[in-house]
């Protein structure tokens, strides 16, 4: 199997995810291809874009075809993370026609979804160009696809928030209520957390921000605050890391970045991105 290796974005291991997707789609056999396509037919197929975007998931698509048939040749036409226009060729695959057809839908599903996430992420990153803020993702991902979706965010120029509940402390409204207040929750977290684990507190009011700062948290999360309120929080505590979250859109992200927050978390990157419109067109290879 010949294919382009992904760059510095850190493509996660996705073999189990691909195998599950193929079992779900192909089952015991692709009966349409089995019944209608000659066994010895060879073909070349090109995956092309029907709209502009940012490509992500070429390595995943290559791995899908490899899982179907290790004799398929995969050649990427673009580098991962490249911007493309409508009509651009993203990659070419060649091999047994039946194998190409059996892998088509699963490869496109991954490539369309991941490219959609990368494209939306790049749009957010471009909107805050020139600021010191970072666009980061959230845990609002499709079940089973978190590592790949967060990978696509990186390809689009964004950054990853915590991967799950296990790698950082994020104290939210329900934790505060259950613990008996912000100070108590933060104290309990620091008592048990490793020194390398960050502690963030979600705050909805400036008074909660004050309590979190007095508790010496690592990051204060400004939840669903107006830009004016965010700016006041940042100006009042200039040495505290502030994160904006909740209600972030392409329409308001530049205003949020202008408040001075350093982190802007956007759930929409993964939960509301639209799959890009891509297609695969196959051509038979004729002997002689």
Which of 71, 172, 207, 216 is flagged as catalytic? Answer: 172
Which of 30, 66, 80, 223 is flagged as catalytic? Answer: 223
Buried-exposed string 33-44: b where 16+ CB fall within 10 A, e elsewhere = beeebeeebbbb
Residue in the structure block whose two tokens are 């037919």: 41
Q: Is 113 a catalytic residue?
A: no
Q: Is 202 a catalytic residue?
A: yes
Which of 66, 104, 137, 202 is flagged as catalytic? Answer: 202
SS3 at position 221: strand
Q: Is 140 a catalytic residue?
A: yes
Q: Is 223 a catalytic residue?
A: yes
How wide is the angle at C-alpha 150 spanned by C-alphas 64 and 196, nearest 5°?
A: 130
Which of 105, 139, 204, 210 is flagged as catalytic? Answer: 105
Residue in the structure block whose two tokens are 């009042």: 236
Q: Are the beta carbons of 41 and 176 closer than 8 angstroms?
A: no
Which of 25, 69, 140, 255 is flagged as catalytic? Answer: 140
Whole-angstrom distance, CA of residue 233 vs CA of residue 230? 5
Q: Is 2 a catalytic residue?
A: no
- In the chain, where does DSSP find H-type helix? 15-26, 31-36, 58-68, 97-127, 146-155, 173-179, 182-192, 206-214, 227-236, 253-257, 268-271
The number of beta carbons lying within 10 Å of the beta carbon of residue 165 is: 9
Catalytic residues: 105, 140, 172, 202, 223
């Amino acid at each position: 199997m010949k294919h382009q290796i992904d760059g510095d974005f850190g493509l996660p291991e996705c073999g189990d995810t691909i195998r599950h997707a193929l079992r779900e789609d192909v089952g015991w056999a692709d009966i349409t291809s089995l019944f209608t396509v000659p066994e010895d037919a060879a073909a070349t197929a090109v995956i092309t874009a029907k709209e502009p975007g940012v490509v992500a998931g070429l390595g995943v698509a290559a791995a899908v075809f490899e899982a179907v048939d290790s004799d398929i040749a995969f050649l990427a036409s673009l580098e991962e993370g490249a911007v493309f226009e409508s009509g651009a060729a993203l990659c070419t695959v060649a091999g047994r026609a039946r194998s190409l057809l059996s892998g088509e839908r699963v490869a496109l599903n991954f490539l369309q979804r991941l490219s959609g996430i990368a494209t939306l992420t790049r749009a957010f990153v471009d909107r805050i160009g020139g600021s010191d803020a970072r666009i980061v993702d959230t845990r609002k991902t499709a079940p089973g696809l978190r590592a790949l979706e967060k990978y696509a965010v990186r390809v689009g120029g964004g950054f990853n928030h915590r991967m799950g509940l296990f790698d950082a402390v994020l104290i939210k409204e329900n934790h505060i209520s259950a613990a008996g207040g912000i100070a108590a929750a933060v104290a309990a977290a620091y008592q048990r957390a490793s020194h390398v684990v960050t502690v963030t507190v979600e705050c909805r009011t400036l008074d909660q921000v004050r309590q979190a700062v007095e508790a010496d948290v690592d990051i204060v999360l400004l939840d669903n605050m107006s830009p004016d309120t965010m700016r006041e929080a940042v100006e009042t505590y200039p040495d505290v890391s502030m994160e904006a979250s909740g209600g972030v859109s392409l329409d308001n992200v530049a205003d949020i970045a202008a408040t001075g927050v350093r982190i802007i978390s956007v759930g929409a990157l993964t939960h509301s991105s639209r799959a890009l419109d891509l297609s695969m067109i196959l051509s038979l290879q004729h002997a002689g």
